[in-house]
A and B are shown apart, each in its own frame.
Chain A
Amino acid sequence: MTAPVWQRRTPARQYAIWLGWFLGVMLFLLCFKIISDNTIWEFLTDAHVQAASLIGRMVPPDWSITGSLMLPLWDTINIATVGTALGVLIAFPLAFLAARNTTPHPALRAFALGIIVSSRSINALIWAILLVTMIGPGLLAGMIAIALRSIGFVGKLLYEAIEEIQPTPVEAITSTGAGRMQVLAFSVLPQIMPAFAGITVYRWDINIRESTTLGLVGAGGIGLQMNAAINNLAWGQVATVFVLIFGTVIVSEWVSAKVRHAVI
């Protein structure tokens, strides 16, 4: 007679888990089949040749255009910075409306949450396409696109920070007979300021990355030069743009990490 073997789960639970995995794998295969049907597999037979020739044309990068890329790079940084500032200006009051403990009315809270979700769902590039058709190509479209996308991100993280504050300072300030705005200014605001600074810098770092591509749809910045180089099949110039973007992103990530480390 063998001793009973220890089992982590009951048999029913084990079968349920296996069934879950089975269904997951089936779904994956089904999805893959749909993609496979829409793919021209013949293109893949020479993919390695294409890749090799692409990389061959990118190396070495065409450094001669570096000087002419400095102004677009400055524009890109401006798009990200001004866009972040505009987005934060709108997100800040919105977060107070959306936080459960500071909202004046539940209906306003639902409205603010709706704006936050809509802004978060739609990529900056889509906002940029829309804005370029509306207000014309250029930096302004890029800035507003970045701002619209940032509202949701900053708003969501900020209202979560507001909901997590300590209630005792709020009670203390309220008991002095302070008005509504005074309570916000002297008990809520000091508690969320470090989180607010951290979130803003974090979003600025993300926006630097996003603003490098906005030029693809005409919204200004270094993406315009990248698009032109790609359309001319000048892959050496494309590689230069890539190197510059890589450098900028590394620097902005370093700055953002430093600032967040300092304030949190």
Chain B
Amino acid sequence: MSASNAQVDHARIAAAKQGSWRPLPLISNRNLRWGLNLAALTYIVLVYYSVDINWARVAQGMDRAINFVGSFFTPDFVTRGGEIAVGLRESLTMTFVATVIGIALAIPVGLGAARNIAPRPVYFFCRTIIALSRTFQEIIIAILFVAMFGFGPLAGVFTLAFATIGFMAKLLAEDIEDAQNEPLEAIRATGAGWLQWINYAVQPQVMPRLIGLSLYRLDINFRESAVIGIVGAGGIGATLNTSINRYDYDTSAAVLLIIIGIVLMSEYLSGYVRKWTA
């Protein structure tokens, strides 16, 4: 391997002296490079033959597509204003409550899933919770929770809180595993109890990132709350889904613009809060 690489290097340098230079390839191993290209080509052929697309139907839909894009210039906030307001209020309250509950539950799970501070059995238990919560999309969890708790925003709160646990606990655990060991030893050497140890050695090291991640998750939960309404878990998703199914694109555009606006606002806000807490 290394011998052939050296040969290639010599060939490159010789070619460069002749005046023809080429940049180094991204993947240095030649067989791997050609193997990947070949695999990609085979895959494209396979997909081409296994996906069948009804182009006539696609052409038919173009009128609607143009209508939809056009409706972004004439959004209608008023006709369904009442439904939009109710949906939006439900989405925002769901987002906030679910994020608070989710983070409160994610902290113990995250502590348990950090390899450097949790005993083995606890570690595996917490990692299982994280894997389960991260694998299944919010919408699948929402279907199950709607079946258990009935329609309404409470099922949505449980869904978003459950999804928040996996996300926050995983990142928190990784952050704790990256924490510096010296403060942990120092506080432990003073004879501190377990809670004191967590509070004075671990918490100060992970707090800034935890705040940043919480704000990010608030943002994600709001976006997700626009989706889980489709299966009856409350929020603005129900309004949006109804408007799309009625081809009432002006109202859909209004809802989408509101969502984009709120996400943009929260992005600016979280930038400020991060600067302020860091």
B245 close to A133 (CB less than 8 A): yes
A136 close to B97 (CB less than 8 A): no
Least Cβ–Cβ distance between A261 and chain B, in angstroms: 14
Binary B-proximity of A188-228 (CB < 8 A = 1, otherwise 0): 00100100010000000000011011001100000000100
| Chain B residues at the A interface, C-beta cutoff of 8 Å | 23, 26, 43, 47, 50-51, 53-54, 57-58, 60-62, 64-65, 68, 89-90, 92-94, 96-97, 100, 131, 135-137, 139-140, 143-144, 147-154, 157, 223-224, 226-227, 230-231, 234, 237, 240-241, 244-245, 247, 252, 256, 259-260, 263-264, 267
Given contacts A35-B157, A197-B26, contact A135 B57 (CB under 8 A): yes
What B residues does A123 contact at CB under 8 A? 223-224, 226-227
What A residues does B60 contact at CB under 8 A? 136
A136 close to B58 (CB less than 8 A): yes
What B residues does A193 contact at CB under 8 A? 26
B97 close to A125 (CB less than 8 A): no
B51 close to A139 (CB less than 8 A): yes
Least Cβ–Cβ distance between A30 and chain B, in angstroms: 8
User: Per DSSP, are chain B's interface residues mostly helix, strand or loop, or mixed?
Assistant: helix
Q: Known contacts A125-B227, A213-B140; can you find 12 more A-B pairs with CB under 8 A?
A: A31-B96, A43-B150, A51-B148, A78-B51, A122-B260, A123-B223, A129-B245, A135-B61, A139-B51, A197-B26, A230-B143, A249-B135
Instruction: Give bound CA distance, A213 to B136, whole Å.
Output: 9
Question: Contact partner of A213 among B26, B53, B65, B137, CB < 8 A?
Answer: B137
A133 close to B64 (CB less than 8 A): yes
| Chain A residues at the B interface, C-beta cutoff of 8 Å | 27-28, 31-32, 34-36, 38-40, 43-44, 47, 50-51, 54, 74-75, 78, 81-82, 117-118, 120-123, 125-126, 129-130, 133-136, 138-140, 186, 190, 193, 197, 209-210, 212-213, 216-217, 226, 230, 242, 245-246, 249-250
30 A-B pairs within 8 Å (CB atoms) are namely A28-B100, A35-B90, A35-B94, A38-B90, A39-B153, A40-B151, A43-B152, A44-B149, A44-B154, A54-B144, A54-B147, A78-B50, A117-B260, A117-B267, A120-B263, A121-B264, A122-B223, A122-B226, A122-B259, A123-B226, A126-B240, A129-B230, A133-B244, A136-B60, A193-B26, A209-B135, A210-B137, A213-B140, A242-B140, A246-B136
